[in-house]
Structure 1
């Protein structure tokens, strides 16, 4: 088990239980996920930037990055709906605690 997860369970949860005046450790807030996002405005013109950013984010997080796409078209930015504009990684459970 991860050392931060153990520290959270053994030290932080009991102190939060005292501060919040709750009786069950299940009532204490906890981390569920960490999302790392990289938005690239210049990726509209150059796809190589997007590939580089995706590989760098994959190396940082230790998990494959997923491309994010534009939801709306914006004429001033020469952006069309569905064009790739960034990438993200969502970490959960053990990978989340390893990253944190």
Structure 2
């Protein structure tokens, strides 16, 4: 069993039951999935660069990303129909816990001048989205093979009913929030 998953089951679940007075274990919020999303600038419509960005996501998430294409042309953004505009990966189960553990314990400490994440990333339904400015914080990425420094967003989808439950869950699981 994953280290973080066993920590959740043994230590965090009883704390959540005590704090929010749940009647059953099924009411306790848990992480459902993590979505890693990366938009592609229209200036990088080179297949080699798109493949290298895709390979970086593959290294980070241990799963091949899905490329998203534009449904229609928007001339003001210089976007053509069927042009690659982004990529995303959805992680569930053991891959989700493994990625989250590496994110909290390896990647976050490598962020320069890090003061913690803002609490405003919650959406009102118990989900949290955070943005990263560069992919170099992940130890899997080789600095010499980077073609372009690009950011990404990471959305953590939970079964929590509100932001307070999700905040307590994510804080207990190790996300550093600034208060």
Q: TM-score, normalised by structure 1?
A: 0.90
CA contact (8 A) 1:36 1:89 kept: yes
Moved over 6 A (4+): none
1:67 aligns with 2:85: no
Q: RMSD value over aligned CA atoms? A: 1.5
Count of equivalent residues: 100
Alpha-carbon displacement from aligned partner over 1:58-89 (angstroms, at most 9, x marks no partner): 01111111101224432122102332111111
Q: Structure 2: give runs of 5+ residues left out of the alignment.
A: 101-179
Q: TM-score, normalised by structure 2?
A: 0.52
Shift of the 55–43 alpha-carbon distance from structure 1 to 2, 3 Å rule, reads farther
In the other structure, the counterpart of 1:36 is 36
CA contact (8 A) 1:14 1:25 kept: no
Task: Give how far 1:43 is off.
Answer: 5.4
Going by fraction, where is helix more abundant, 1 or 2? 1
